[in-house]
A and B are shown apart, each in its own frame.
Chain A
Amino acid sequence: MTQDPHAMSRRQLIRHTAWFGAAVGLAVAGGEVISHVAGAASAERAAVRPTVRFAQISDSHIGFTGSANPDVAGTFGHAIDRINNLGYTPDFVIHTGDLTHLSSSDQFDQVKQMMSKLQTPHVFTVPGEHDSVDDAGQKYRSVFGAGTRGDGWYSFDIAGVHVIALVNTLNLKKLGHLGVEQLEFVEKDVARLSSDTPIIVFSHIPLFAMYPDWGWGTDDATQALSYLSRFSSVTCLNGHVHQLFSKTEGNVTFYSGRTTAYPLPHPGDGPAPKPVTLPAGKLGDALGIREVSYTKGQNALALKERPLQ
């Protein structure tokens, strides 16, 4: 009986197993060290109370009826509970649009009443295209437009951070649109700021070209972003696409947020962005809120995604 020349002897097998074990052990140890360093860095930042802490909530679509979510008011209420139980009081809560599904007065009343339960000093909003059905956002502005300018845009400063809330859902053709007046507002608004001021921008439709075929982009956003190019930290948060997505372009980081209503398909997955009905018990994973914190001296904002599950 001849032995296969390629056969591994027991000694070789033990040796290879030992190397494999060493590889696994070292990888685990290395991973522990790296995550410990990252954790220590986070803890160091956390030891100093973040300069600003806020929560983002989006696309509640109050009034929607469909199999994708038969109880959008219930899931929105759940999202509000999540925010009220973060363990601290956020400096503000921002709703990044599509508060209602069809812009009816009843839906605006309901969403306003529900949001009054948010335990935070300030609640801000920007309109989605579902909040301006047939009336160019008049009902939206009558309920949520106090203190805003133009068609509902505004800015404010909080603890050294400059926040800009933009409206890109009016004058929609296919993509989101800001318009000349709003672009001038952005240009003048940031002209007085020093370049090390952290900037946070809210809008409903993404300010980056996430998937233009479905209208997931803003046709004149490049102009607005050009006014922000000199700032060292610019973070843009949006809703509309009902899913997490992030992108960095130079000094600007874009983050799309989850919805509290129903998921939409991934970009290009199917002919159109129609509500997706998930198997029973899976909806909560697709819905969620976002915690955001900024600590002075850091360039990047820290985001924590909180599913409703």
Chain B
Amino acid sequence: MTFLLRIGIAASLAVSAASHSYLYIHGYHYIPTIGTAFLIQASISFAVAVLIVLGGPGWLRWVAAAVAGGSLVAFILSRTVGLFGFSERGWDPSPHAAITVGAEVLTVLLWAGALVKWPRPAGLASPSSISPTSVTERR
């Protein structure tokens, strides 16, 4: 379960990074502040996604959630009050806005899912849950 969640977080983060990179390369780097923010978002997301796949520590998932959550907040601001003098409407640029938001929501959900202590199916126990005491008792 943890492995799948990790892969899911990394994949969704990579999709968001790819989308931000594409937009940065195709015009957004001309937009003051927003262009730089897109570049930083994409590079951090790529790095974190790679390290999560490689089995990095748990705090990387928190970074992933923070980057994805922050990007979602920035998306909402850009559709409402504006962000650094930049605003966009609806799901423009299509389809990148929708893809990015979908990926970021997924990242946050998977991160939250990874925090939940999932009940294990009956009869299965992880090695760490078997303490020396319980082994003795079974004997």
Determine whether the beta carbon of B32 is less than 8 Å from that of A248: no
Interface size of B by CB at 8 A reads 34
17 contacts between A and B (CB under 8 A): A19-B51, A23-B56, A24-B47, A26-B46, A30-B47, A31-B42, A34-B42, A34-B43, A37-B25, A38-B24, A243-B85, A245-B86, A245-B87, A246-B31, A246-B34, A248-B92, A302-B30
B-facing residues in A14-32 (Cβ within 8 Å): 15-16, 19, 22-31
**Quick one: given A23-B60, A27-B46, A31-B39, are A247 and B25 in contact (CB under 8 Å)?**
no
A304 proximity list for chain B (CB < 8 A) = 30
Whether A246 contacts B85 in the complex (CB less than 8 A), given A19-B51, A300-B27, A302-B30, comes out as yes
Contact status B21-A34, CB under 8 Å: yes
B138 vs chain A, min Cβ distance (A): 26
Does B99 make an interface contact (CB < 8 A)?
A: no
Which residues of chain A have a CB within 8 Å of any CB of chain B? 15-16, 19, 22-31, 34-35, 37-38, 41-42, 243-250, 256, 266-267, 300, 302-305
B120 proximal to A (CB < 8 A): no
Contact between B60 and A244, CB atoms less than 8 A apart: no
Cβ contact within 8 Å between A26 and B50: yes
Inter-subunit contact B47/A27 (CB<8 Å) = yes
Residues of B within 8 A of A (CB): 17, 21, 24-27, 29-32, 34, 39-40, 42-44, 46-48, 50-51, 56-57, 59-60, 63, 82, 85-89, 92-93
A42 neighbours in B (Cβ, 8 Å): 29
Chain B interface, DSSP helix/strand/loop, else mixed: helix
**CB pair A30 B93 closer than 8 Å:** no
Q: Which residues of A contact B89 (CB under 8 A)?
A: 247-250
Q: Which of B29, B59, B88 contacts A248 (CB 8 A)?
A: B88
List the 6 closest A-B pairs by CB distance, nearest first.
A26-B47, A31-B43, A30-B43, A27-B47, A300-B27, A30-B46
Q: A30-B42, A300-B26 are in contact. List 14 more A-B contacts (CB 8 A).
A: A16-B57, A19-B57, A22-B51, A23-B56, A24-B47, A31-B39, A31-B43, A247-B86, A248-B88, A249-B89, A250-B89, A256-B85, A302-B30, A303-B31
What A residues does B24 contact at CB under 8 A? 34, 38
Residues of B within 8 A of A26 (CB): 46-47, 50-51
By a CB distance below 8 angstroms, the chain A residues around B85 are 243-246, 256, 266
Q: B21–A23 contact, CB under 8 A?
A: no
Q: In the assembled complex, how far is the CB of residue A97 from the closest CB belonging to chain B, in whole angstroms?
A: 19
Do A23 and B63 touch across chains, with their CB atoms under 8 A apart? Answer: yes
Contacting pair B40 A31 (CB below 8 A): yes
* Nearest chain B residue, comparing its CB with the CB of A27: B47
